[in-house]
């Protein structure tokens, strides 16, 4: 084609004009912008929902601290759990409670009733079938029914024990906890007009000594503890408030304490008695109660030299600590197992003795039990020790029907594999659970329970709070799948069974009656308002009696031996969930890469121990107790006493979802329960282990 | 490393008291839930997980029993003199809004990751994969923050949506949106911390707590000598903690304010 010069110039001019016009117009930029957005707007990328935001209050049932939450709802559906600064046990929110709305949608949730077939596999069944089957099994078992519950703060204890009572059984158990030890120690020390538990008035204290008790991460009402800690530290930059942590591991509490006093594992009692001895002999402290003279005689054996030998605490450090306690105007001692269980009665009694000597702000917190026929209070249930009775029966569950209510003993009890074997071999076992956990996997029938913010439930005075507390966890969302409130199912079965007068139709009725008995306004409670009542000072407590300390406290204390082997020091992280919940998907990122690497969890050793064993950071090792062996990697952490082996609880699940399953080792498998001298309670806070290269 | 510095009438900032932090991680959970970060199954692998806020464990380096431990939460430092925005070829990250928050616009991001290389705080994360919520868990995605696809960088925004909501509330109330009261706008991590370790507010407003905290003699900023002018301050009475905030020579004294 022949293009003339004039035509070429005209075309070039036109092109330039068009280009300029396009560049100056908003069109290409708008299209480019749309294109950029479109490239990120794939159908599989979730879009943001729209709707109305509302807020309401509740109390977390899944977090052991019972912390308050402010729930953000979108179109009436829970979206976020936020901190509730108005709540008596709130003032922030725990990692576990913050992950609650997400956890309600966990892949590990049981959505339908499940029945184990002859081939060992589960199949979904209808509720009608499940209820008919359970009804038949209950009739068949008669009074030979056992129940283990994982809920110690709610009225479920009363409902379950009343249900068993109607069947003719008293085999009601709770999963072991620090609360159990504290409660039994309290009952062994004093009698009060009503059922009660010890309360700890942290608010008024000016010096806190935590022995073992991980005050700011897992002990008692730890979110409230942290709020109080923050307030005391914030009030004055040069605050005179003192906080000392004594324990085998420089844990979360030790990280912010004024000082950390390293201690051999399971030596809490010895340290407390060493301090008590100094308070009596050097500071002339005493307790006006029967049995104190014998206590004082026994204390004289716990000299600073003995404490150095057994607890690894130097006499100078012990004397300085005793002086701090003696000079504080309102000192408070919190003594317990560093992992909230398995310490037995002795540490709680030793702590109580120290507090009595110091006239510490300890209170009596009255407890209320729902008025149901044959219902047991939680203090009464604490006297039943599941592990002790299991051991007595030759590690066999012989009841014709075993009922697990929100409990996961196959994972979360010491000697987990032995417990799991006992469950697997039990005649017939039923799990009422929101999650397909290790215990549910072993059961014959699994009933999907509503969970968290799907379920109406109550929380009464969790262990550690200083006053009477009563709050409701409120149903804010329809239960997932075909889940139902497990207690309503049982109450319905009670009617079918014709279990007599007194059992209500719905759990809500139980709570309403309880609230009325406590003179509380149900409507206000139902709106999420929580309640606190003034406490009873220890001065008002009648019947203080230390005569049983000889056998209950000094018996086990004298049995403590010098450390000559590697000892397990279990570590707790609230974010890793509970035995029942597993690791919440939204909490998993908190786990550091020197705590979990792929499928390997770590054991923490100090440099001295590692050198002694010929190990270095990252070494693959086999950790073995007399019970079991697990594999792990070595983490060098200088905040742990020589000879102690730090291991996190919460790993090593074999069930639940991909966020929990197959991650690291279950430390419970290593632990060996043994009977505590005096109380007969099972203890598992001093597991000797060996470590070899794997 | 530092680029130009911009000044604002309002400068949102954070003061984190390391001596109060127990490393519980509740702030990280709240951050993840608030900002629609999908959970990953291998989250302890920090090359895979996205952490707008990450809590580091610090050690004084001494052997038992002289050992001390501390925890340091690290959000985006919202630098006054921002190394990241200056290298972004597509203006996907910038600092031009009153308040001094470094923005991140995912739909503009081309995934070149220059900003990640430039950030001295490792506060930026790249989406190597599309976000996946377990079945049903996508129901808890909030309306506030867009879900990011693979191929883009993301980071802490000081919960910018909360800033917008606070401004909206102020407008409705007829108040000055640039004179918010202390506590009217706080981040999710600040709200969550039960220890009160995180304080948030306007660093230039005397009525805000952070104004005073950031001027404490115990306050320090991370890698301060790079000149990035972070809007995140840390507090610690422990000198060894303050020393870890920057690269000091062995015998070089730790600077003390005031």
Give A347-366 pLDDT, tens digit per residue. 999 999 999 999 998 888 88
Contact of A410 with A442, CB cutoff 8 Å: yes
Range from A19-23, B77-81, B154-158 carrying the lowest mean pLDDT: A19-23
Quickly state the pLDDT bin for A533 (edges 50, 70, 90): low
Range from A145-154, A495-504, A634-643 carrying the lowest mean pLDDT: A495-504
pLDDT for the residue numbered B1 = 45
Shortest distance, CA B79 to any CA of chain A (angstroms)? 25
Sheet holding A536-537, edge to edge: A196-200, A362-366, A536-537
Shortest distance, CA A247 to any CA of chain B (angstroms)? 12
Is A15 among the domain residues? Answer: no
Shortest distance, CA A244 to any CA of chain B (angstroms)? 14
Measured between CA atoms, the residue of chain B closest to residue A52 is: B143
Q: Which one of B24, B130, B135 has the shortest CB-CB distance to A95?
A: B24
Q: Where are the domains of chain B?
A: 12-243
Alpha helices by DSSP H, listed for chain B, are: 26-34, 114-118, 160-172, 188-192, 209-213, 239-243
Strand ranges, E, within A406-474: 429-433, 445-448, 457-460, 468-473
Measured between CA atoms, the residue of chain A closest to residue B141 is: A48
Contact state of A36 with B70 under an 8 Å Cβ cutoff: no
Contact state of B135 with A597 under an 8 Å Cβ cutoff: no
Give the distance from CA A377 to its chain's centroid: 20
Instruction: Among A66, A82, A103, identify where a domain stops.
Output: A103
Burial of A43 (0-12, 13-18, 19+ CB in 10 A): exposed
Is A144 among the domain residues? Answer: yes
Q: Which fold has domain B12-243?
A: Alpha-Beta Plaits (3.30.70)
The enclosing domain of A295 has a CATH number of: 3.40.228.10
Residue A102 has pLDDT above 50, yes or no: yes
**Residues 6+ away with beta carbon under 8 Å from A173:** A146, A147, A148, A149, A381, A384, A385, A386, A389
Contact state of B137 with A597 under an 8 Å Cβ cutoff: no
Measured between CA atoms, the residue of chain A closest to residue B130 is: A45
Quickly state the pLDDT bin for A33 (edges 50, 70, 90): confident
Q: Which one of A48, A105, A260 has the shortest CB-CB distance to B143?
A: A48
How much of chain B, in percent, has pLDDT values that exceed 70? Answer: 98
Contact state of B147 with A48 under an 8 Å Cβ cutoff: yes
Q: What's the Cα-to-Cα distance from A366 to each of A333, A532, A538, rounded to whole Å? A: 21, 12, 12
How many structural domains compose chain A?
Answer: 4
Quickly state the pLDDT bin for A24 (edges 50, 70, 90): confident
Shortest distance, CA B66 to any CA of chain A (angstroms)? 8
Q: Is A217 found in the same domain as A324? A: yes
pLDDT for the residue numbered A29 = 82
Sheet holding B232-235, edge to edge: B198-202, B12-17, B232-235, B219-220
Q: Is A390 found in the same domain as A472? A: yes
The enclosing domain of A36 has a CATH number of: 3.30.200.210
B88: alpha, beta or left? (left if phi > 0; alpha if psi -120 to 50): beta
Q: Is A689 found in the same domain as A579? A: yes
What is the tens place of the pLDDT at every residue in A76-92?
999 999 999 888 898 89
The enclosing domain of A126 has a CATH number of: 3.40.50.740
Contact state of A590 with B29 under an 8 Å Cβ cutoff: yes
Q: Is A469 found in the same domain as A524? A: yes
Determine the angle formed by the axes of helices A304-311 and A268-281, rounding to 10 degrees.
170
Residues of B in contact with A606 (CB under 8 A): 63-64
Residue A27 has pLDDT above 90, yes or no: no
> In whole angstroms, how large is the CA radius of gyration of chain B?
18
Is A163 among the domain residues? Answer: yes
Q: What's the Cα-to-Cα distance from B84 to each of A121, A373, B47, B216, rounded to whole Å? A: 55, 69, 20, 28
Which of A444, A310, A349 shows the shortest CA–CA distance to A678?
A349
DSSP state of A9: H
Residues of B in contact with A589 (CB under 8 A): 28, 32, 39-40, 43-44, 49, 51
Contact state of A80 with B33 under an 8 Å Cβ cutoff: yes
What is the tens place of the pLDDT at every residue in B168-217?
999 999 999 999 999 999 999 999 999 999 999 999 999 999 999 999 99
Pairing mode, strands A122-124 and A114-116 = antiparallel
Long-range Cβ pairs for the range A533-539 (8 Å, 24+): A533/A467, A533/A468, A534/A467, A534/A468, A535/A199, A535/A201, A535/A363, A535/A364, A535/A365, A535/A466, A535/A467, A535/A468, A536/A192, A536/A196, A536/A363, A536/A364, A536/A365, A536/A366, A537/A363, A537/A364, A538/A356, A538/A362, A538/A363, A538/A364
Rounded CA-CA distance A484/A143 in Å is 25
Q: Is A372 found in the same domain as A474? A: yes
Q: Which one of B45, B140, B147 has the shortest CB-CB distance to A105?
A: B140
Rounded CA-CA distance A220/A340 in Å is 9
Residue A500 has pLDDT above 80, yes or no: no
Q: Is A207 found in the same domain as A345? A: yes
pLDDT for the residue numbered B2 = 47
What 3-state DSSP class applies to A211? Answer: strand
Q: Is A239 found in the same domain as A222? A: yes
Residue B85 has pLDDT above 90, yes or no: yes
Backbone angles phi, psi at A458, to 5 degrees: -125, 160
Contact state of B44 with A255 under an 8 Å Cβ cutoff: no
Q: Is A416 found in the same domain as A297? A: no
Average pLDDT over residues A455-480: 92
pLDDT for the residue numbered A395 = 96
Measured between CA atoms, the residue of chain A closest to residue B152 is: A40
The residues that bridge with A74 in the sheet, in sequence order, are A53, A77
Contact state of A590 with B146 under an 8 Å Cβ cutoff: no
Backbone angles phi, psi at A110, to 5 degrees: -90, 125
Contact state of A101 with B33 under an 8 Å Cβ cutoff: yes
Q: Is A397 found in the same domain as A346? A: no
Q: Is A129 found in the same domain as A82? A: no
Please state, rounded to an integer, the average pLDDT across all residues of chain A.
92
Range from A36-50, A398-412, B132-146 carrying the lowest mean pLDDT: A36-50
Residue A693 tokens read as: 């290269």
Rounded CA-CA distance A693/A631 in Å is 9
Q: Is A639 found in the same domain as A605? A: yes
Measured between CA atoms, the residue of chain A closest to residue B58 is: A255
Question: Which residues span the domain enclosing A94?
Answer: 24-103
Residues of A in contact with B23 (CB under 8 A): 252, 255
Instruction: Among A310, A343, A364, identify where a domain stops.
Output: A364
Q: What's the Cα-to-Cα distance from A172 to each of A250, A379, A559, B109, B222, rounded to whole Å? A: 37, 12, 31, 60, 55
Contact state of A95 with B25 under an 8 Å Cβ cutoff: yes
What is the tens place of the pLDDT at every residue in B17-75?
999 999 999 999 999 999 999 999 988 888 888 999 999 999 999 999 999 999 999 99
What is the tens place of the pLDDT at every residue in A362-380?
888 888 888 899 999 999 9
Instruction: Among A45, A77, A103, identify where a domain stops.
Output: A103
Report how many Cβ contacts below 8 Å link chain A to chain B. 212
How much of chain A, in percent, has pLDDT values that exceed 90? Answer: 77
Shortest distance, CA A196 to any CA of chain B (angstroms)? 28
Contact state of A105 with B28 under an 8 Å Cβ cutoff: no
pLDDT for the residue numbered A676 = 93
Is A183 among the domain residues? Answer: no
Contact state of A46 with B151 under an 8 Å Cβ cutoff: no
What is the tens place of the pLDDT at every residue in A431-452?
999 999 999 999 999 999 999 9
Measured between CA atoms, the residue of chain B closest to residue A589 is: B43
pLDDT for the residue numbered A86 = 86
Token pair 């005179």: residue: A240
Is A540 among the domain residues? Answer: no
Shortest distance, CA A487 to any CA of chain B (angstroms)? 25
Residues of A in contact with B145 (CB under 8 A): 48
Please state, rounded to an integer, the average pLDDT across all residues of chain B.
93
Contact state of A230 with B139 under an 8 Å Cβ cutoff: no
Q: Reply yes or no: is the peptide bond before residue A676 cis, omega within 30 of 0.
A: no
Average pLDDT over residues B153-178: 96
Residue A13 has pLDDT above 50, yes or no: yes
Contact state of A95 with B29 under an 8 Å Cβ cutoff: yes
What is the tens place of the pLDDT at every residue in A63-78?
999 999 999 999 999 9
Residue A37 has pLDDT above 60, yes or no: yes
Give the distance from CA B235 to its chain's centroid: 15
Quickly state the pLDDT bin for A542 (edges 50, 70, 90): low
Contact of A372 with A290, CB cutoff 8 Å: no
Measured between CA atoms, the residue of chain A closest to residue B61 is: A638
């Amino acid at each position: 084609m022949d293009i003339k010069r004039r035509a070429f110039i005209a075309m070039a001019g036109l092109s330039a004009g068009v280009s300029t016009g396009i560049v100056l117009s908003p069109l290409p930029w708008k299209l480019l912008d749309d294109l950029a957005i479109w490239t990120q707007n794939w159908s599989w990328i979730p879009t943001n929902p729209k709707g109305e935001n509302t807020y309401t209050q509740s109390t977390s049932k899944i977090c052991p601290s019972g912390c308050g939450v402010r729930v953000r709802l979108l179109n009436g559906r829970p979206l976020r759990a936020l901190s509730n600064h108005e709540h008596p046990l709130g003032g922030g929110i725990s990692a576990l409670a913050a992950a609650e709305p997400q956890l309600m949608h966990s892949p590990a949730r049981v959505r339908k009733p499940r029945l184990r077939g002859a081939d060992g596999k589960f199949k979904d069944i209808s509720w009608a079938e499940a209820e008919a089957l359970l009804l038949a099994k209950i009739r068949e078992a008669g009074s030979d029914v056992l129940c283990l519950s994982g809920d110690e703060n709610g009225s479920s204890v009363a409902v379950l024990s009343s249900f068993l009572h109607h069947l003719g059984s008293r085999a009601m158990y709770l999963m072991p906890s620090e609360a159990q030890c504290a409660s039994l120690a309290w009952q062994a020390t004093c009698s009060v007009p009503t059922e009660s538990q010890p309360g700890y008035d942290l608010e008024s204290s000016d010096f806190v000594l935590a022995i073992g008790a991980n005050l700011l991460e897992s002990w008692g009402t730890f979110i409230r503890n942290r709020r109080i800690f923050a307030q005391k530290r914030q009030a004055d930059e040069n605050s005179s408030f003192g906080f000392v942590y004594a324990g085998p591991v420089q844990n979360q509490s030790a990280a912010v304490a004024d000082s950390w006093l390293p201690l051999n594992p399971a030596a809490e009692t010895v340290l407390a008695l060493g301090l008590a001895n100094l308070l009596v002999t050097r500071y002339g402290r005493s307790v006006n109660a029967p049995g104190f003279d014998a206590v004082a005689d026994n204390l004289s054996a716990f000299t600073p030299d003995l404490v150095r030998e057994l607890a690894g605490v130097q006499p100078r450090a012990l004397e300085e600590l005793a002086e701090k306690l003696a000079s504080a105007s309102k000192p408070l001692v919190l003594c317990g197992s560093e992992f909230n269980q398995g310490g037995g009665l002795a540490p709680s009694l030793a702590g109580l003795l120290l507090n009595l000597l110091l006239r510490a702000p300890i209170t009596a917190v009255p407890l209320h039990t729902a008025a149901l026929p044959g219902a047991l209070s939680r203090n009464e249930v604490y006297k039943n020790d599941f592990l002790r009775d299991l051991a007595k029966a030759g590690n066999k569950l012989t009841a014709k029907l075993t009922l697990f209510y929100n409990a996961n003993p196959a994972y979360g009890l010491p000697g987990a594999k032995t417990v799991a074997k006992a469950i697997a071999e039990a005649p017939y076992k039923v799990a009422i659970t929101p999650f397909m956990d290790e215990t549910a996997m072993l059961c014959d029938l699994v009933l999907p329970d509503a969970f968290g913010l799907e379920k109406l439930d109550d929380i009464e005075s969790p262990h550690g709070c200083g006053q009477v507390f009563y709050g409701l966890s409120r149903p804010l969302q329809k239960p997932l799948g075909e889940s139902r409130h497990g207690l309503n199912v049982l109450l319905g079965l009670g009617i079918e069974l014709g279990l007599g007068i007194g059992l209500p139709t719905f759990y809500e009725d139980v709570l309403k009656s309880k609230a009325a008995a406590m003179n509380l306004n149900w409507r206000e409670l139902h709106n999420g308002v929580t309640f606190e009542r003034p406490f009873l000072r220890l001065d008002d407590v009648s019947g203080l009696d230390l005569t049983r300390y000889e056998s209950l406290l000094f018996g086990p204390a004298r049995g403590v031996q010098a450390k000559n082997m590697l000892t397990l020091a279990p570590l707790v992280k609230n974010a890793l969930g509970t035995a029942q919940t597993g690791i919440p998907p939204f909490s998993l990122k908190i786990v550091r890469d020197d705590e979990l690497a792929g499928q390997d969890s770590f054991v923490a050793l100090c440099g001295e121990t590692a050198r002694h064993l010929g190990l270095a950071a990252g070494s693959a090792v086999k950790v073995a107790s007399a019970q079991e062996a697990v594999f792990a990697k070595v983490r060098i952490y200088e905040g742990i006493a020589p000879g102690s082996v730090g291991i996190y609880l919460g790993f090593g699940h074999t069930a639940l979802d991909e966020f929990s399953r197959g991650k690291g080792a279950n430390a419970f498998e290593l632990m060996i329960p043994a009977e505590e001298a005096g109380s007969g309670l099972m203890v598992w806070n001093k597991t000797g282990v060996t470590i070899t290269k794997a | 490393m530092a680029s130009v510095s911009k000044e604002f009438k309002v400068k949102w900032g954070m003061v984190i008291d390391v001596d109060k932090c127990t490393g519980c991680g509740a702030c990280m959970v709240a951050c993840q839930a608030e900002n629609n970060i999908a959970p990953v199954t291998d989250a302890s692998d920090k090359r895979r997980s996205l952490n707008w806020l990450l809590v580091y464990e610090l050690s004084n380096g001494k052997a038992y029993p002289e050992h001390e431990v501390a925890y340091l939460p690290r959000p985006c430092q919202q630098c006054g003199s921002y190394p990241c925005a200056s290298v972004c070829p597509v203006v996907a990250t910038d600092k031009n809004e009153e308040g001094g928050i470094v923005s991140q616009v995912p739909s503009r991001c081309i995934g070149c990751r220059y900003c990640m290389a430039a950030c001295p705080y490792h506060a930026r994360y790249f989406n190597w994969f599309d976000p996946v919520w377990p079945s049903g868990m996508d129901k808890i995605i909030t309306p506030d923050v867009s879900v990011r696809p693979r191929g883009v960088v993301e980071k802490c925004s000081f919960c910018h949506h909360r800033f917008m909501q606070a401004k909206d509330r102020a407008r409705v109330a007829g108040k000055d949106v640039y004179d918010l009261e202390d506590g009217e706008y706080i981040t999710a991590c600040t709200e969550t911390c039960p220890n009160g370790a995180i304080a948030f507010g306007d660093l230039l407003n005397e009525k805000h707590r952070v104004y005073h905290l950031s001027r404490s003699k115990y306050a320090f900023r991370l890698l301060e000598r790079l000149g990035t002018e972070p809007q995140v301050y840390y507090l610690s009475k422990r000198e060894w903690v303050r020393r870890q905030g920057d690269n000091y020579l062995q015998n070089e004294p730790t600077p003390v304010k005031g």
